Structure 1
Amino acid sequence: MTDLNAGVATGCPDPLNDGSVEEELAVLMRDLNRMMRAAVDRRLEPLGLSQAQWRPLLVLHRAGQPLTQIELARQLDIEAPTLVRLLDRLERKQWIERRPIAGDRRIRHIVLTASACELIRTILPLVRAVRDEAFADLNADQRLACLRALQQVRDRLRG
């Protein structure tokens, strides 16, 4: 369990760090998210891809439809100015196109190019391998129970 004295050495005890199961789950979810991304980074490093590059490509792929810059920024949990610079780099690599939306010149859809789709066909098996390794010690029932519990938490937070 969480150390109730965490933060005391810095002079800033954390009132949210109460040692509860909920606290442990919150910390664990954050850590797992970071660790999964780092594992994928290591797997994609030989391809010369950084997290900043592969994450937006996979988000766009999984969306199944073009996203606006605002939608993509929200899904990547980054600020709009950061996304603009990232999209500039992806566009220079010819992995995305920014297409205007009819009736609103301010908003653009982000669309994957054919070369990005080809790259994604290379990326996906590597991402799946990381995922499969991460869940290898859980049987099907455990995976399903974990999925259902996390979906309930997500749905509760969505309101």
Structure 2
Amino acid sequence: MNYDERFSKALHMTARQWRAALDRRLRDLGMSEAAWMTIAAAAKSTPAPSQSELAQMLAVEPASMVAMIDRLTRLGFVERVPSPSDRRVKHVAVTAAGQAVYERIHQEATVFRAETLSRIDPQKLTIATEVIEQLQLIIADA
């Protein structure tokens, strides 16, 4: 396997393993990775994102996002709020119950990140971060 294939595979697998490890830590919440990622993305966004913006952030199809928002609304974790400027647009706001779930997600993610990244040389971590951020910019322009 050449270097660029190795890099691509490592990047992809690391992202998947990172989410899976965090998902294991959050298993007792009783929700899927897609559900807690949706809550986290909505909670971190100010102002509340539209459904389509949330789908873009999480790189999922709009129809999948609508179904996820429907489920989270039924569970009381998010609510749809009409846009003040466009009646066709609905924003996804996190409820108090959703905020409580997000705080747990944030806490576990912070601990996991600290535990994991503390095992990597800070200089190497800085370089890896810069490379990944540059790659994101290149991909965004592609």
Q: Do the structures match in fold with TM over 0.5?
A: yes
- Does 1:114 pair with 2:79? no
The 8 Å contact of residues 22 and 112 in structure 2, kept in 1 or not, is answered as: yes
TM-fit CA distance, 1:30: 0.7
- Does 1:39 pair with 2:39? no
Higher helix share: 2
The 8 Å contact of residues 41 and 49 in structure 1, kept in 2 or not, is answered as: no
**What stretches of structure 2 of length at least 5 have no aligned partner?**
none
The 8 Å contact of residues 68 and 107 in structure 1, kept in 2 or not, is answered as: yes
CA RMSD of aligned residues (A): 1.4
The 8 Å contact of residues 69 and 108 in structure 1, kept in 2 or not, is answered as: yes
Superposition pairs for residues 66-105 of structure 1, below 5 Å? 66-105=48-87
Per-residue Cα deviation, 1:45-79 (whole angstroms, up to 9, x for no partner): 01212102100111112223211111111111111
Instruction: Report the number of matched residues.
Output: 141
TM-score of the superposed pair, with normalisation by structure 2: 0.92
Larger-Rg structure: 1
Give 1:150's match in structure 2, choosing from 121, 125, 132: 132
Percent identity of equivalent pairs: 27
Structure 1: how far apart are the matches of 2:82 and 2:11?
37
Aligned amino acid, residue 105 of structure 1: R
Give 1:65's match in structure 2, choosing from 32, 47, 63: 47
Relative contact order, CA 8 A, sep 6+: which one is greater? 2
- Residues 66-75 or 121-130, more deviating: 121-130
Structure 2: how far apart are the matches of 1:124 and 1:58?
8
**What stretches of structure 1 of length at least 5 have no aligned partner?**
3-18
The 8 Å contact of residues 67 and 110 in structure 1, kept in 2 or not, is answered as: yes
Structure 1: how far apart are the matches of 2:113 and 2:62?
29
Structure 2: how far apart are the matches of 1:60 and 1:119?
12
2:109 paired residue number: 127
Aligned amino acid, residue 40 of structure 2: L
2:38 paired residue number: 56
- Runs of 4+ in structure 1 deviating by more than 6 angstroms, as ranges, are none
